[in-house]
Chain A
């Protein structure tokens, strides 16, 4: 659904390796976690705490809280507000976060 624009500067950006649900993945420098996941074709980022329905990024500006993922062990992290870094461990979230993760 999403593809990267053929923008020269963006295409030249450095590749950033990270881990997504235990698998090696990569994004580009300047991506947010949400942008990287969308560019990889991910539409569902989590399942909701109450009904278990799938959710993905909606507003991409920190308001809707639908893009929550677990980043480096911290649950309910807004993927659209966190810049991707090399080596990040990202996982999609199934329902409620744990109190200590």
Chain B
């Protein structure tokens, strides 16, 4: 199939009338969306020898990739879908390889660390709720077990001597880590280009139509012809998916982040709500709000986040906040990713969407890109299909 874009253009049927063949960009795979998800997949495809193009809206895009919290996080992922737990775990286990490849290919150190991560509880009740959810998650059928520890206050204090008096305990999982996500974003793009990929900004997609064996894609700067198309456009996937017979029921969910000035290292491990970056800043943020496409910050939520952070580590209260922002998570009803593909009768369209573009970068660049290059998602990816939201199909 791959490499047939030119052939397909010459034998194009009536559907191709809207596209001017001579002006069209031609490629084996067009990845729509140049955020962390699109860039990771596109890099993997380019590395497998496919002529790959990223069609990106550009810097005006809602860009979760520039607003995320940069955890490579495992411990809380997968209650309700064991397959998601395993997929997350696989990415976490192969993340160091991705970091090494990116350093070798681009010279950029994405500062990946996997010291294990903590979730601290500010009351016995919070700790109990977290533990109950974890036990339910690990008791699911098909769950691949991994180690986590529940720590009382004294045990938390041994790891974090500066912990505040309100901390009742916490959960530790050795699989958790974090990165510098802005450098990751840059390195994925650099690696993609080094592997021969073409990044085309200013290309919001307005239409996708089947065109012979491939796809004709209308963009703001002209048509693109591709043997395959991968939708990785975040929230815009909801609009694009029906154009290729798929569904992406995603909505924006706002998350806010506070960042302090840099200080000397004092936090040896990332927390789910708080971490010290490789450069010394403290990032605070685990809020989730249903606010539609509104990505403005709000002092109410930021205040609660700051207050909880200072209760966990009172010393943070002396640091100056230098930045705050809000970004939009790409969220499904159940919080799990969607990976989907068009019917076997008309193959070639794929869809990927998730709210964990950092954590899942390694599997997006690795196994997922491999499946797309091979032409079909593996059978064990079926739980991720958006068909799970189709009530009549499930009933």
Residues of A within 8 A of B162 (CB): 99-100
Residues of A within 8 A of B266 (CB): 98-99
Category for how many chain A residues contact B:
10 to 19
Residues of A within 8 A of B212 (CB): none
On whether the beta carbons of B320 and A76 are closer than 8 Å, the reply is yes
On whether the beta carbons of B279 and A97 are closer than 8 Å, the reply is no
Q: Does A1 contact B (CB under 8 A)?
A: no
Task: Tell me, rounded to whole Å, the shortest Cβ–Cβ distance linking A72 to chain B.
Answer: 12
CA gap between A50 and B262 in the complex, in Å: 9
Q: Which of B262, B316, B318 is in CB contact (< 8 Å) with A96? A: B262
CA gap between A96 and B316 in the complex, in Å: 14
Chain B 254-272 interface residues, beta-carbon cutoff 8 Å to A: 261-264, 266
Q: CB-nearest residue of chain A relative to B322? A: A65
Chain B 237-262 interface residues, beta-carbon cutoff 8 Å to A: 261-262
Q: Does B20 contact A (CB under 8 A)?
A: no
CA gap between A50 and B316 in the complex, in Å: 20
Q: Does B378 contact A (CB under 8 A)?
A: no
On whether the beta carbons of A98 and B263 are closer than 8 Å, the reply is yes
- 1/0 contact trace for A82-101 toward B, CB 8 Å? 00000000000001111111
CA gap between A74 and B282 in the complex, in Å: 17
CA gap between A99 and B279 in the complex, in Å: 13
Q: Does A13 contact B (CB under 8 A)?
A: no
Q: Does B280 contact A (CB under 8 A)?
A: yes
Residues of B within 8 A of A99 (CB): 162, 263-264, 266, 282, 313, 315-316, 318-319
Q: Does A56 contact B (CB under 8 A)?
A: no
CA gap between A40 and B315 in the complex, in Å: 33
Q: CB-nearest residue of chain B relative to A74? A: B318
On whether the beta carbons of A96 and B264 are closer than 8 Å, the reply is yes
Residues of A within 8 A of B282 (CB): 99
Binding site for B on A (CB under 8 A): 49-50, 74-76, 95-101
Nearest 3 CB-CB pairs, A to B? A100-B315, A49-B262, A99-B315
Known: A49-B280, A97-B264, A100-B162. 18 other contacts (CB 8 A): A50-B279, A74-B318, A76-B261, A95-B264, A96-B263, A96-B264, A96-B280, A97-B261, A97-B262, A98-B264, A98-B266, A99-B162, A99-B316, A99-B318, A99-B319, A100-B315, A100-B318, A101-B318
Binding site for A on B (CB under 8 A): 162, 261-264, 266, 279-280, 282, 313, 315-316, 318-320
Q: Would you list 22 pairs from A and B whose C-beta atoms are within 8 A, ordered by A residue?
A: A49-B279, A49-B280, A74-B318, A75-B263, A76-B261, A76-B320, A96-B262, A96-B263, A96-B264, A97-B261, A97-B262, A97-B263, A97-B264, A98-B263, A98-B264, A98-B266, A99-B162, A99-B264, A99-B282, A99-B316, A100-B162, A101-B318
